[in-house]
Amino acid sequence: MSASPIYHNNIKDIRGDGRVTIYQRPRRDGSISPIWHMRISLPNSTGYHKQSTKTASEPDATRIALNKFDELYIRVAAGSPLKASTFKDVAAGWEREYRATQPATRKEKHTRTAIGVLKKYPYEFFVNVKGNIAIGHLDDRMCQEYFSWRRQNSFLNGRKFVPAEDTLRKEQNLIVSLLTYAHNKHLIREIPKLNAPIVKDNRRPTFSADEWKKLYTAARKWVNDAKSEPVKRDRFYLQHLILILTNSGMRIGEARELRWGNLETIKTTEGKRLKAVVSGKIGERDVVMMPDTHRYFERIYDHRKAELYADPQPSDFIFCHKDGREIGSFKKSFASLLEHASLTYNARGQKRTIYSLRHTYATFRLGPMGKVSVYDLAKNMGTSVAMLQRFYGQEMTEDRAVAVTQVNKQPAAKPEPNEKQSYPFR
């Protein structure tokens, strides 16, 4: 070891073989710090482990260094590296492998979102708040401490909020993925069992049948009251989006990316139904919509045809700006509509979002107004039976969830007849 004379004169070779040494560091003013540090190397392992003993007592520093040598020897014998990997280092490796192991059917934006989730609040806590902890120190106790910190330090648009338990569960799944990666790379000996955050109330903010009627009635008036054509156009598209989402259960992202060529009509034993091929989180799937939903698409088609003076092309976005670009977000306009209809919050004080329409669809289909098995519904919505029962099971028993009920159709805006026009999806 090359060092200054002061540094060299303060090295103590504890074992006599150079494997365990302690030393005191020189200060800038030429004096020596009283605190002893240790440097350890192991047979059949490269690199050194350097750490402060946090004591000015040479006997105590000697004991601490020898104990650390034994601890590291066991770790290396078990296949782990000498130098403990930090959360930051492991996260970088995990990100590369996570991208490479995602199925080809998964959209890149969903992969980016998952990586972004881990690198936001978990990264802030484990790297910045906890001082970039060694990955081996990330256990259930530390994870529960993270959940507590997360609930107290989450902000959206500058305003503090408490994240939903489902959000924390998703973050925990990514942390487990990180730990699994560390285990596969022999950076930790075993994957710790992490207990999920306690869920007090899973129910998502939805609309009751009366509230849904109030919403689509208010939306119709909202469109008619628009002061300019551009505003009326924006409101018209939102009006029909909410009708379609509540009658199909599609995710907002799936609906935004719909093109006219994704629609077709299929024959069933109960008549014709409109079907859309959507690209969701786990690939493509078919979404069969409620009866009469085709009417809403027909109105959009007619509106767009009048703008273009020609039929829309199969490759054209359904929900588009006047120039044909996909509408990127309906968030602000939907919030404005909710405020207009006095429906921003539900009875439990939860703020509704556009995803509340998907949750409303599920609640209607599984509640007294529905007639569907939970298994068929899960497939149509691109989710799992467990997820449906977890979030929408409060209004049904498990047996009833898989049974049919007497009513065939949930409340919906009354469609306007339009049988003279022909449509490519009809």
d(CA 208, CA 194): 36
Question: Which CA distances in Å does 234 have to 229, 300, 327?
Answer: 9, 12, 10
- Enumerate the β-bridge partners of residue 134: 86
**Nearest of 25, 29, 30 to residue 7 by alpha carbon:** 25
The model's confidence at residue 28, banded by pLDDT at 50, 70 and 90, is: confident
Please tell me the distance from the alpha carbon of residue 382 to that of residue 377, in angstroms, as a whole number: 8
Name the pLDDT band for 405 (thresholds 50, 70, 90).
very low
Single-letter code of the amino acid located at 286: D
Residue type, 26: P
Closest CA to 281 of 106, 46, 37, 98: 106
Q: Give the pLDDT score at 92.
A: 93
Where does the pLDDT of residue 329 fall: very low under 50, low under 70, confident under 90, or very high at 90 and above? very high
β-pair type (271-280, 20-26): unpaired
Q: Are strands 263-268 and 271-280 parallel, antiparallel or unpaired?
A: antiparallel
Q: Tell me the three-class secondary structure of 246-295, residue by residue.
A: HCCCCCHHHHHCCEHHHEEEEEECCEEEEEEEEEECCEEEEEECCCCCHH
Q: 10 Å Cβ neighbour count for 4?
A: 10
Q: Identify the pLDDT of residue 266.
A: 92
Confidence at residue 116, expressed as pLDDT on a 0 to 100 scale: 95
Q: At residue 105, does pLDDT exceed 60?
A: yes
Q: Please work out, in degrees rounded to the nearest 5, the angle formed at the alpha carbon of residue 160 by the alpha carbons of 155 and 161.
A: 90
Judge whether 88 and 132 are in contact, CB under 8 Å.
yes
pLDDT at 37 over 90: yes
Three-state secondary structure of the chain: CCCCHHHHHCCEECCCCCCEEEEEEECCCCCEEEEEEEEECCCCCCCCEEEECCCCCHHHHHHHHHHHHHHHHHHHHCCCCCCCCEHHHHHHHHHHHHHHHCCCCCCHHHHHHHHHHHCCHHHHHHHHHCCCCEHHHCCHHHHHHHHHHHHHCCEECCEECCCCHHHHHHHHHHHHHHHHHHHHCCCCCCCCCCCCCCCCCCCCCCCCHHHHHHHHHHHHHHHHCCCCHHHHHHHHHHHHHHHHHHCCCCCHHHHHCCEHHHEEEEEECCEEEEEEEEEECCEEEEEECCCCCHHHHHHHHHHHHHHHCCCCCCCCECCECCCCCECCCCHHHHHHHHHHCCCCECCCCCECCCCHHHHHHHHHHHCCCCCCCHHHHHHHHCCCHHHHHHHHHHHCCHHHHCCCCCCCCCCCCCCCCCCCCCCCCC
The mean per-residue pLDDT over the stretch 356-369 comes to: 85
% of the chain with per-residue pLDDT over 90: 58
pLDDT band (50, 70, 90) for residue 409: very low
pLDDT tens digit sequence for 108-140: 888 999 999 999 999 999 999 999 998 988 999
Least confident range of 12-21, 376-385, 409-418: 409-418
Mean pLDDT, range 56-82, rounded to an integer: 83
pLDDT tens digit string along 218-231?
Answer: 999 999 999 999 99
Q: Are 194 and 176 in contact (CB under 8 A)?
A: yes
User: Residue 397 above 90 pLDDT?
Assistant: no
Q: Distance between CA 139 and CA 30 in Å, rounded?
A: 42
- Which has the closest alpha carbon to 370: 316, 341, 406? 406
CB of 210 closer than 8 Å to CB of 216: no
44 vs 195, more confident = 195
pLDDT in tens, 170-186: 999 999 999 999 999 88
* pLDDT band, very low/low/confident/very high, at 398 (cuts 50, 70, 90): very low
Conformation bin of residue 198: beta by default, left when phi > 0, alpha when psi is -120 to 50 = beta
Q: How far is CA 363 from CA 25, 280, 351, 407, 408, in A?
A: 67, 21, 17, 14, 14
**Residue 201 predicted with pLDDT over 60:** no
The pTM assigned to this predicted structure is: 0.58
Answer yes or no: is pLDDT of 411 > 70.
no
Residue-level pLDDT at 270 = 83
What's the pLDDT band for 66 if we cut at 50, 70, 90? very high
